[in-house]
């Protein structure tokens, strides 16, 4: 499983990259809006430079011409840019055209296996089911992810599945058990994944015992 960081915050990305476990980054309009005072394109270019891996940047147009224009501008920023497009009929029409041009697309706001199948059929490089937001509706996000892994693998699509809208480490664990290609995690969840009380206690004890060793 690869880990992407789900953020547009440069400090978080720098720190997580320095830990050696981050393969890419996903952003969305809400995450970018939190980084006030900087242009969207400037942020995306800096993230690409830091991560040197796939960086998802989302379009906000809803019509085909607008999606294509934004997507091509984003893709021209850096070879690592993956254009993120919400799943709509116009969105998938754009995916078909863009994938033919060699642009990698991450189809986002996916909440069902049928949506994922359509995205894969259209030529999406990535598909992002939103696990946490499905949980919020009272349905099991992980069950939907399980269906998606089944149907994508049934047909040998090359589309990679990104478990998104991750809220806690258990979401990551369950996604990994299903063989999900990628989990995109908020910085807080990445830090939680490192932690175990026995690790903390073990380090404390080793350090305390080391004080007794004759040096």
Q: Which residues bind ligand E4P (CB under 6 A)?
A: 6, 26, 28, 108, 128, 130, 132-133, 164-165, 184
Q: Given the complex with ligand E4P, which of 59 and 164 has the nearer CB atom?
A: 164
Q: Minimum distance between the CB of residue 25 and ligand E4P, rounded to whole angstroms?
A: 10
8 Å CB contact between 110 and 87: yes
Question: Is 84 marked active-site?
Answer: yes
Q: Given the complex with ligand E4P, which of 106 and 154 has the nearer CB atom?
A: 106
Q: Given the complex with ligand E4P, which of 109 and 207 has the nearer CB atom?
A: 109
CA distance linking residue 113 with residue 148, whole number of Å: 5
Q: Minimum distance between the CB of residue 134 and ligand E4P, rounded to whole angstroms?
A: 10
Per DSSP, helices labelled H in the chain are: 10-18, 29-33, 40-51, 64-75, 89-100, 113-122, 131-136, 141-154, 169-177, 187-194, 197-210
8 Å CB contact between 82 and 56: yes
The catalytic position among 45, 69, 84, 215 is: 84
Q: Minimum distance between the CB of residue 18 and ligand E4P, rounded to whole angstroms?
A: 22
Minimal CA–CA distance to 47: which of 21, 25, 20? 25
Active-site residues, by number, are 84
């Amino acid at each position: 499983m690869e880990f992407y960081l789900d953020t547009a915050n440069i400090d978080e990305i720098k720190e997580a990259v320095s830990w050696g476990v981050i393969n890419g980054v996903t952003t969305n309009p809400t995450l970018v809006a939190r980084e006030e005072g900087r242009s969207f394109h400037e942020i995306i270019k800096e993230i690409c430079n830091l991560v040197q891996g796939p960086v998802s940047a989302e379009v906000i147009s809803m019509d085909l011409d607008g999606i294509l224009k934004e997507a091509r501008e984003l893709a021209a920023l850096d070879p690592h840019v993956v254009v993120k497009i919400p799943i709509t009929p116009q969105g998938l029409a754009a995916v078909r055209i863009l994938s033919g041009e060699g642009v990698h697309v991450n189809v986002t706001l996916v909440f069902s296996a049928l949506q994922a199948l359509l995205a894969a059929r259209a030529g999406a490089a990535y598909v992002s089911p939103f696990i946490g937001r499905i949980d919020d509706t009272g349905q099991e996000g992980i069950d939907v992810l399980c269906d998606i892994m089944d149907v994508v693998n049934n047909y040998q699509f090359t589309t990679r599945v990104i478990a998104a809208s991750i809220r806690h480490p258990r979401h990551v664990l369950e996604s990994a058990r299903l063989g999900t290609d990628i989990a995109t995690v908020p910085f807080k969840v990445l830090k939680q994944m490192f932690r175990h009380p026995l690790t903390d206690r073990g380090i404390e004890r080793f350090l305390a015992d080391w004080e007794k060793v004759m040096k």
